[in-house]
Amino acid sequence: MSIELIIGILNIVLISTTPLVFAGIGELVTEKSGVLNLGLEGLMLVGAVTGFITLVLTGNYFYSLFLSIISGVILSGIFAFLVLNLMTNQIATGLALTIFGIGLSAMLGKKFAGTPIDGLNPYYFIVISFLLVFSVGYFLSKTKSGLIVRAVGENHNSAYALGYNVIKTRYLTIIFGGVMSSLAGYYISICYAPMWQEGMTAGRGWIALALVVFATWKPWRLLVGAYIFGGVAIMQMNLQAIGVKLPGQFFNMMPYIATLIVLVFISSNKVRLKLSAPSCLNIPYEKNS
């Protein structure tokens, strides 16, 4: 294998994996505070279509990025209000958010499918994704605010007794996760594949959720896991290129098969999982409890 080919493969892996890093690191912070958001796929799609439509109508990349992020703030804010104030079931609400996002993005983007645009260079976002992972790692382990997030996720009642605002902390982490998911969607429609197509995130939101578990809620492990999954996706292209005679559907399934294998492997070590997962993950918080 030549150096040029290796560099080419690494280049493709970097470009294709970045949205997983954005969405995954956002969900990791959200789950560190004790909230499980299964709405990543919907958030990514709405972020993708919002950024794309804005770019087509205005031709301004800043406006398109800004409105894409705003869409993530609004939708994640609604999710936060439902699960924190109204105390709805986090799993059901997250699934509803995904279904809503899929439908809304399809409706908004119907007239814009196939519209040509000039995409952005993905390497700016690749650099940002690396900086983001290390910044989040530092934030969670070295700063007072990060320690508060972790305390809220581990025992929200004790955190409240110490004077920390549990609801505010979780609002902020949920919105951060929503912004990261919308940024991942923006990257897909503006950088990775400059176009709009219904369902173009292709399940990356679900893979990002699995990555958080695979990483056992540690940012640097999430980065490594994301590139492992990216390598699996690229491997399927290389196998097809060298003439491996298997149905195309099998190659399309490979990243998701890898996701299932990882989840089974991690879940099999229940002690390690319990030691890593935030203790209050997916547990509703009642202020007077």
Q: What pLDDT, on the 0 to 100 scale, is given for residue 223?
A: 92
Summarize the confidence of residues 144-157 as an average pLDDT.
Answer: 95
Range scoring the smallest mean pLDDT among 78-87, 106-115, 198-207, 268-277: 268-277
Instruction: Please compute the mean of the pLDDT values over residues 268-278 and round it to a whole number.
Output: 65
DSSP code of 165? -
Query: Angle formed by the axes of helices 144-154 and 166-187, to 10°?
Result: 100
Can you give the pLDDT at residue 63? Answer: 96
What mean pLDDT is reported for the chain? 87
Q: What is the pLDDT of residues 166-194, one digit of tens each?
A: 999 999 999 999 999 999 999 999 999 89
Compute the distance between CA of residue 190 and CA of residue 183 in angstroms, rounded to an integer.
10
What are the pLDDT digits (tens) for 196-249? 999 899 889 988 998 898 888 999 989 988 888 777 766 666 666 666 666 656
Higher pLDDT, 136 or 277: 136
34 within 8 A of 155, measured Cβ to Cβ: no
- Model confidence at 3, in pLDDT bands (50, 70, 90)? confident
Q: What pLDDT is attached to residue 16?
A: 87
For 259, residues 6+ apart whose C-beta sits below 8 A from its C-beta are 206, 207, 210, 229
Residue 257 has pLDDT above 60, yes or no: yes
**Rounded CA gap, 273 and 70, in Å?**
34
Q: Choose the CATH number for 3-276 among 1.10.10, 1.10.3470, 1.20.1050, 2.60.40.
A: 1.10.3470
Asked if pLDDT for residue 125 goes beyond 70, the answer is yes
- The answer to whether the CB of 166 falls within 8 A of the CB of 159 is yes
Q: Are 265 and 246 a contacting pair, CB within 8 Å?
A: no
pLDDT tens for 227-236 read 887 777 666 6
Q: Which residues contact 221 (CB under 8 A, 6 or more apart)?
A: 214, 215
Candidate from 41-55, 66-80, 189-203 with smallest mean pLDDT: 189-203
pTM of this prediction exceeds 0.85: yes
